[in-house]
Structure 1
Amino acid sequence: MKNARQLVTICNKAGAGNIASAALHILRREIENRSGAATALSDDESSADIILRVSSSGPAEGFVIEGERARVEVKGNDERGLLYGVGKLLRTSLFEAPAGLRPGEHPFSPGAWRGSSAPSCRVRGMYPAYNFRNWYVSAPRRDVLRYAEELALWGVNTLVFAPAHYQFAAVDSPRSARLTEAIDENLRLMADLKRMGFDIGLLVSGNYGFAHGPANGAATDVPDTSPPRRGNAGPRLCPSNPAAFSHMEQAYGRMLDDYRDIGLDYLVSFPYDAGGCGCARCWPWGFRGFLKINRMLHKLASERFPACRLVYGTWCFDARGEFEGEWSGLARELAGDAGWVDFIMADSHEDFPAYPLQHGAPGGLPLLNFPEISMWGRYPWGGYGANPLPGRLQRLWRQVSAVCQGGFPYSEGIFEDINKAVCATFYWDRNAEALATVREYAAYEFSPVHAGRIASAVELLERTYPRQTQSPDDVQSAWREISSIDRELPERAAKSWRWRILYLRALIDRELLNTPSGPHSDRCDEAFEELTEIYHAHNAGGPDAPPSRKCLARLRAAPAPAPPPGASV
């Protein structure tokens, strides 16, 4: 006897707002794609399997899931809360029967989780870096938007982007067709993301990129560590030079004008890599030259977007030691005069900076973090497949969880998808455990039956990520476990890109173990080429390109840019 196709009935009492409509659309799509069941809308709550509602009560962006297994109600405290509640329902639902369907059974079963939940942190962001022709640059825009929807299901509410290189254009001349096209694409993407419920922002690098500034306005290189972490890349202007400062002010004003129709929610100002000036009037950069630029950015943004929040970045402050005085100097400058800044954003290549943990954030301002989820541990980043780092991220989060109000993890693509879920869950629940998130992720994306084994395999993949300290036994164990699970997964999960990047990572590590000093094997090369397809990395720069033979030949013919300062190789 063949089972009839399951029909899941949804009663939408949440209205037709943009975010509520997105929540309904995503719920129907994921049920249908993951289980094969059909969905239908009904106005009758009594006959519905799932009811969606917005209650306008309770903590902002929170939700409640209640009801019996046969009739589940997802109630958002607002429209965003509804979307995040749909995410929780989906992650705890069953989409395949573990032992196959018996007559009368159906593949989809709504999740059993019941209760209320609300976010711990206000800013649950991501910074997708459009660099080196990576996935964000090269993937079709529909795929980028679909991926943004999937991040929203984990509670991500803010995305910030580095704008098209406005600074490279002369402020008093027409823009090139290429720059105009890039700006228009930015605006279309941001408009779509706004409709999906995201807050949107720009991340700018202070005084970097002004190729057409006054001839005598160039910045002086900043003191740096060895190897360099701050960087002295690209054309930079000195904000203590009046003509150079005026040029930057005009360029930034022109840039912000383009976003008037969409509106900006955040402006994130980044001090180094790239950026900085080491002249006597600008140094120490963090509270002199950089402070001057931030005051200018605040003025320009607040004139155009009164509700826009300024995030003052502190990346690489006091990188050579506390004697540089950037943290303490900024604290003095903001004491009693911090009203123009909304957040301090801090982080580092390794442990969280000590100053804000010991003394509090300058000006008593809320603190955000900037986790490194992409570039740590190997180079090319993601070139070997997935880079899950739940243990590292858990350790670093524990340093700041009591004081952090959210953050913007730095993303170079989709290979750190598990890391994004881990960080998003930390922002939702300060006390979250990273491995519990990995198990929830694995149950939803792959199979609840194998979630525990997959989480254990992820721990092995993290342990073997830095190749310099790999244990051959751990590499072999990871491959045995991943390849064993692969044979048992449902076909949908086994073919998904999320599983393939985990599988290929284990395979590549095992193959490289067998060729420690010579060219990689044919099987390894096939794996690199599959990653290239998944990442749309056929023309990616070296930092984001899986190192297949074809890729290495291409890069030798046209060398890729050097990795940014501080990137682990």
Structure 2
Amino acid sequence: MKGIDFTGALVLSAPEVCGPEAKAIDVLVEEIADRTGVVLERTQVYARRPVPVIVAGTAESLRRISGLEWPEAVTGGLAELKPEGYMLRTEGGDGVPPAVWIVGADARGVLYGAGKLLRLLRWGAGSCRLEGPLHTITAPYSPIRGHQLGYRPKNNALDAWSPEQFDRYIRELALFGANSIEILPPRTDDHPTGPLMKVEPLEMMVRIAESIDSYGLDTWIWYPNMGDDYDDPVTIAAELAEREDIFRKLPRIRALFVPGSDPGKMEPDPLFVWTERVARLLRQYHPEAKIWLSPQIMRHDSAAWMEAFYRQVDREPDWLGGIVFGPHVDVPLPELRRRIPARYPIRRYEDITHNYHCQYPVADWDMAYALTLGRESCNPRPAAQKHIHNVLAPYADGTIAYSEGINDDVNKFVWSDQEWDPATPVVQTLREYAGLFIDDERAEAVAQGLLALERNWEGPLAVNDGVEVTLQQWKRMEADAPPRMRDSYRFQMHLLRAYFDTYTKRRLAYETELEYKAREALQMAPVSGSLAALERAGHILGQARTEPVGAPYKERCEQLADELFANIGYQLTVTRHFARSQGRGAFMDAIDAPLNDIRWLRTQCELIGEAEDEGERLALIEGALNRTDPGPGGFYDNLGSCRGFRRVDPGAGWQADPGYLATPRIAYAMHLLSMSPERQKELGGIPLSWVAHTNAMLDTPIVVRYDSLDPQTKYKVKAVLVGETSGRTPRDCWASLTAGDSFVLDEEVHIAAGGVTTRECAVPPEAVQDGRLSLTFRRTRGFKRLNVAEVWLLPERNRSEI
């Protein structure tokens, strides 16, 4: 069969269809009308007419259509339908008007079948066409498929939405197979209201739940325990009253997800006692609902907490619906699945929204991006998301992904499509995403452009020549885009990323050169005088602001940021767009963050300038310029750089361990840059080689390897270790340092939160007897992350002195 023109088609469904099945048919007609202007005629009476027909409904309801002629290929496939699945089948030809059958195993199957048809149709003004025949029978791989949609000021867009915008987004997620939406109560670890909220939080919670229910999807609630004392009768009464009010007002609740931590601070034993009480209350209003718990724990003693959690789960309480695996669960998912009783399913709560300092950070991300795009930027990562999904999919019953807004929009749809069928190529998902939501005619270009944006983040930015090509592709689409495409927030946000990436690459090259010139000016201090050299270096470094580069790129980013705020409430700055903070998606506020070591150099210049003696100033300048010099025959490595990280033992590796539970990774200590100027001055400035470092979780060691060493040379090791940001929980850490398998160099290194620790130790000659050396840094106690920034291997004396 050739393509079918559905412009004048009939939509045939059974009489007296209601609820989610009727809603599915409404969605089909409304979405076609929205994109083409064509309103298809609907009928519940079968009569042969010389026009194409879309037959839509469940197998059960379609049997109620009197006289409907069922093609043999359709009836033959009914036995293959599985829950939530559907059949798409085209029929006709040889004088018979063409038809497409959407037959759902149930009401959800009708919705997902309609969604797939919409994703395959080709659009135009006044036209709607299917390119070729269809014969698909499919059902979802995972029984749980969904996303968390929060309504609180922490979100980077959703707090600005109306109930109608939430309904639209829920519909769009359903078109790609989502069956679950997780919402938040009015009281969480965030402010209850914000300047952009159009509806009171509890009212919005009810309105969103009503939308979810109207599509026949499942409503989940992420409900943290925010009380201070769950032994206090007054606290208990208030907490239960709050929950009862919500349970009574929401139309249908499938499950409550209660995190063990982040936020929350209960021990497992009281947690289970309290949760059982909540479960009894929940069942009064929603008899089928159960509570799911996660062993998320942010404390350093997570092993003891987990053992207590396991003991409670092993009692197999009936009110417990399942276990949730997500951020701060320190047990690998395969191990968790082995340890949890088989009666309890595991649901994934995967962080698809953040770039670093998160569950699944971007692998080996360039520091220039970390400094500017930050933790929560527009981040299409289709290939990475598919891999993360698939490598752990066998151990869980699906995912309701964690999100903080709209920045991870592409990731949401990729994840949903993988939950439906892990064999789906991501480029197919991107084509359907682009065709349905952005522009059908340019779907292939947009899909390839999204893949190119992901490649922009691969490897060192300075040598990624694809970044400029990616912008050229997006600019060409921008120039050719029709008004609807130009006005699409999904096009605008990714177009902004293309401009932003190129602007960052342009600045990186320029500011790196300025740093080299400033250092050259300081090298001339013995000739020009130290004070003149300091002044000259400061002037050169200031050119990044006084003589900036790439202004047109920045201006276009600013324009797009304003358009996105007006369009979808995307909050890309704190002042203009009311973002909660720069770390909560306001990456435009960091668009000009320094990409060279200007902060450290300026602090050094200030300290040097305070010296009263010219000789002392010259000596300080020489020391600053040679800070990383290991001397002849020595070694220096910034473990947060691409080159330095190659010296680190890779552990399990990203492919097998994308959550880095047993794999060292490059991480970023941005909190160092937010230190007060006085504190930075005490430390002699904050070099970027402290900000970017190697990080390891829990008991995973950081092993630094050397070969081709001279066994006759004595060495000492110098290391800089970075403390965690100060938080609500104690975050000091203690570590050991060993050489080889048995030589303990330092067994009690205290790494204070919010600080930097430097250690120097002699290396026993026996550790280098074969010309090889391994240095192992290992957390011994305290907070669960270990950060090593710089390592020097310094020869104490060279061969001629032996």
- Coarse TM-score class (shorter-chain normalised): 0.7 to 0.9
Q: Is residue 135 from structure 1 mapped to residue 138 from structure 2 by the alignment?
A: no
| Greater per-residue strand proportion | 2
Unaligned ranges ≥5, structure 1: 98-104, 170-177, 211-236, 278-284, 553-561
Tell me which of 160, 168, 193 is aligned to 2:212.
Answer: 193
Aligned-partner Cα distance in 2 for 1:483–1:421: 24
CA contact (8 A) 1:165 1:179 kept: no
**Cα distance in 2 for residues equivalent to 1:157 and 1:444:** 19
Q: Cα distance, 1:450 vs. partner?
A: 4.6
1:414 aligns with 2:406: yes
1:426 CA drift (Å): 2.0
Partner residue of 2:286? Answer: 305
Cα distance in 2 for residues equivalent to 1:564 and 1:501: 34
Aligned to 1:67: 90
Letter aligned with residue 560 of structure 2:
A
Please give the alpha-carbon distance, in whole angstroms, between the structure 2 residues aligned to 1:511 and 1:298: 52
1:265 aligns with 2:254: yes
- 1:549 Cα deviation after fit: 6.6
3-state DSSP of counterpart to 1:13 = coil
Query: Retained in 2: the 8 A contact 1:166–1:251?
Result: no
What does the per-residue CA deviation read over 1:195-244, in whole Å, with 9 as the maximum and x for residues that have no partner? 222211211112x2x3xxxxxxxxxxxxxxxxxxxxxxxxxx244xx216
Task: Return the structure number with greater relative CO, CA threshold 8 A, min gap 6.
Answer: 1
Aligned equivalents of 1:493, 1:438: Cα separation in 2: 16
Contact map agreement 2:449 2:474 (CA 8 A) in 1: yes
Q: Which residue of 2 aligns with 1:514?
A: 506
TM-aligned CA deviation for residue 465 of structure 1: 4.3
What is the distance in 2 between the residues matched to 1:359 and 1:157? 23
- CA–CA distance in 2 between the matches of 1:162 and 1:147? 16
Report the more deviating stretch, 7-16 or 260-269.
Answer: 7-16
> Cα–Cα, structure 1 residues 160 and 410, in superposed 2: closer, same or farther, change >3 Å?
same
d(CA) in 2 for partners of 1:19, 1:354: 38
CA deviation vs aligned residue, 1:16-64 (integer Å, no higher than 9, x gap): 3121222222212221222333321233353342111211473221111
Aligned-partner residue type, residue 299 of structure 1: R
The number of residues matched between the two structures is: 497
Rounded Cα–Cα distance in structure 2 between residues aligned with 1:384 and 1:515 = 21
Amino acid at match of 1:428: W
Say which SS state the counterpart of residue 95 (structure 1) adopts.
strand
549, 558, 562: which one aligns with 1:525: 558
Aligned partner of residue 41 in structure 1, secondary structure:
strand
Aligned residues of 1:62 and 1:118 also touching (Cα < 8 A): yes
Q: How far did residue 532 of structure 1 move?
A: 2.4
| Structure 2 equivalent of residue 435 of structure 1 | 427
Q: Which residue of 2 aligns with 1:85?
A: 113
**Is the Cα contact below 8 Å between 1:313 and 1:346 reproduced in 2?**
yes
2:55 paired residue among 51, 72, 94: 51
Look up the SS of the partner of 2:394 in the other structure: coil
Question: Residues 469-513 of structure 1: CA distance to partner in whole angstroms, max 9, x if unpaired?
Answer: 575413212112222334445553343221221112111222233
Would you say the 8 A contact 1:203–1:267 is kept in 2? yes
Tell me the alpha carbon deviations over residues 280-339 of structure 1, each in whole angstroms, 9 at most, x when there is no partner. xxxxx3x3343333333323322332201211122347x7477x2344432332224243
Could you report, residue by residue, the CA deviation over 1:64-114 in whole angstroms, capped at 9, with x for unpaired residues?
1112273111111111110110000010111139xxxxxxx9443376432
1:326-475 matches, cutoff 5 A: 326-348=305-327, 353-354=331-332, 356-357=334-335, 360-364=338-342, 365-377=344-356, 386-447=378-439, 450-465=442-457, 471-475=463-467
User: How has the CA–CA distance of structure 1 residues 384 and 168 changed in structure 2, closer, same or farther, with 3 Å as cutoff?
Assistant: closer
Tell me the CA shift for residue 259 of structure 1: 2.5
Counterpart residue number, 2:365:
none
List 4+ stretches of structure 1 deviating above 6 A: 166-169, 379-385, 549-552, 562-566
Cα distance per residue 1:150-194 (max 9 Å; x no partner): 11111111111110128999xxxxxxxx99943233223312321
Alpha-carbon separation, structure 2, partners of 1:395 and 1:476: 26
Amino acid corresponding to residue 195 of structure 1 in structure 2? S
Preserved CA contact (<8 Å) 2:155 2:405? no
**Corresponding residue for 2:636?**
none
Q: 1:257 to 1:398 in 2, by over 3 A?
A: same
List alignment gaps of at least 5 residues for structure 2: 61-77, 93-97, 192-196, 357-369, 512-543, 546-550, 572-576, 593-725, 730-783, 785-802
- Whether the 8 Å contact between 2:354 and 2:376 is mirrored in structure 1 is no
1:232 match: none
Q: Cα distance, 1:415 vs. partner?
A: 2.7
CA contact (8 A) 2:108 2:216 kept: yes
2:236 aligned partner? 248
Question: How far apart, in 1, do the equivalents of 2:132 and 2:494 lie?
Answer: 26
Q: CA 1:539–1:551 in structure 2 vs 1: closer, same or farther (change >3 Å)?
A: farther
Q: Percent identity?
A: 20
Contact map agreement 1:439 1:455 (CA 8 A) in 2: yes
**Which piece of structure 1 moves more, 85-94 or 194-203?**
194-203
RMSD: 3.7
- The match for 2:568 is 535
User: Using the alignment, how far apart are the partners of 1:180 and 1:394 within structure 2?
Assistant: 36
- Equivalent residue for 1:147? 169
Task: Return the alpha-carbon distance in structure 2 between the equivalents of residues 361 and 401 of structure 1.
Answer: 17
With normalisation by structure 2, the TM-score equals 0.56
The answer for the alignment partner of 1:160 in structure 2 is 182
Aligned to 2:717: none
